Amino acid sequence: MDTGQSGVVEGDGTVWDPRLVSMMPNHASDDLATWLAQEVQPMVDDRIERSIRDRRYQDRLRYQVGTGGKRLRPGLVLLVGELCGCDQQPLLDSAVGVELIHTFSLIHDDLVDGDRHRRDDPAFWVEYGTAEAINVGDMLLAHALTLIPDEGTTLAAEAVREMTVGQQVDFALADRRDITEAEYLDMVEKKTGALFDLCVELPQTLTDTDLDIDGYSALWPAFQIRDDLLDFEAGKGRKTIGNDVRAGKHTLMVIHADDERVYDILDKPAEQTTAEDVDTVQEIFEETGSFDYARHRMHTLVDEALAALETLPDSPQRHRLIALGRYCTDRDH
Ligand code: IPE
Ligand code: IPE
Ligand code: MG
Ligand code: MG
Ligand code: MG
């Protein structure tokens, strides 16, 4: 295919065709998941593999990257970068950098949440132990910051700091029974939203742009609400459902149900929480309409996010951002 654009020449002299959205045939297609899986994922994974060549890390990295994942964040970086007219090389480095930050965050997150599975496979800490989970996670974060172009490094470090604040709040909320929806949303804005915000902001630091899609960030809490709902479905890839219940996590359903029986179960140590306890929580969420409420909030947030794209001129990237918004909540994993 003659794309009319040249590929990116890598450090080792190979020419890399990034196959960004505007270079793809049929780019009006709404099949976001296919684009992520067939275009973004191979490109990002290959680049991760080639950018971390230290043999002491390679099999660990292959393990974690090979467990799957949607590659939503690099996809978002590429879409926004194309809207801003970014150069390909710094854009690709940014896309790979955010995925590595995400990878580091998942390795550490499973450790702190006590989750033994991720994407249907043993979590990194289960496979390689806690010492390696901490160390490899640290390496990935540091490597990501070296990969991200200088103009965006401080922004990226700030996003990671914000994410860790969100994680602190996530731990702290587990001990309380009086959490408000506003507190939940604030926590999510940090633990999940900070990295997604970086995906939107990073390309904007790489070029002069008057792009204004700030309202699109209403999508991040919708994404996390879907994640909380997925904890009750097999798609979360954890072999069992109700891992957030075992870990005592306060989700939007917990806040909406506001039921002492739920809090009592959440307060139990994870190893004492039974499958019946998880069923009980699920039944209470059904009875109190808390699943319905969470789904409703999720959809209103998506509508809000997509409204922020209305003023954008029509383009393949705009179509894909709309599709990405829907995919965040329609996804089954
Ligand atoms: C999981 O994110 C972590 C959260 C912020 C909820 P994703 O669901 O995007 O993870 P992968 O990479 O696609 O597995
Ligand atoms: C993850 O949130 C947020 C970060 C990784 C910073 P969750 O703990 O809800 O994510 P999952 O459910 O483990 O993917
Ligand atoms: Mg977790
Ligand atoms: Mg967590
Ligand atoms: Mg979760």
Mutate which of 120, 191, 230 for ligand 2 pocket (most atoms within 8 A of beta carbon): 191
**Which amino acid would we find at residue 262?**
V
Give the list of residues 6+ apart from residue 144 with CB closer than 8 angstroms, or none. Answer: 96, 97, 98, 100, 101, 104, 156
- Per-residue model confidence as pLDDT tens digits over 200-234: 999 999 998 989 999 999 999 999 999 999 999 98
Task: Give dist(CA 112, CA 23) in Å, integer.
Answer: 41
What is the per-residue pLDDT for 27? 39
Direct distance between the N- and C-terminal alpha carbons of the chain, in angstroms, rounded to an integer: 33
Over residues 28-49, the mean pLDDT reads: 87
Task: Give dist(CA 124, CA 110) in Å, integer.
Answer: 8
* Closest ligand relative to 120 C-alpha: 1
Q: How far is CA 136 from CA 61, 103, 166, 169, in A?
A: 8, 10, 21, 24
**Lowest-pLDDT choice from 29-33, 60-64, 136-140:** 29-33
Is the beta carbon of 69 within 6 A of some atom in ligand 1? yes
Look at ligand 1, atom 5, and give the residue with the nearest C-alpha.
192
Task: Give dist(CA 258, CA 263) in Å, integer.
Answer: 8
CA of 109 to the centre of ligand 2 (A): 6
Nearest-CA neighbor of 273 among 285, 284, 261? 261
In Å, how far from its chain's centre is CA 150? 23
Mutate which of 67, 73, 106, 118 for ligand 1 pocket (most atoms within 8 A of beta carbon): 106
Calculate what percentage of the chain has a pLDDT beyond 90: 85
Residue 299 in this model has a pLDDT that exceeds 50: yes
CA of 69 to the centre of ligand 1 (A): 7
Nearest-CA neighbor of 309 among 299, 301, 319? 319
Walk me through the domains of the chain, giving residue ranges and CATH numbers: 29-330 (1.10.600.10)
What does pTM read for this prediction? Answer: 0.92
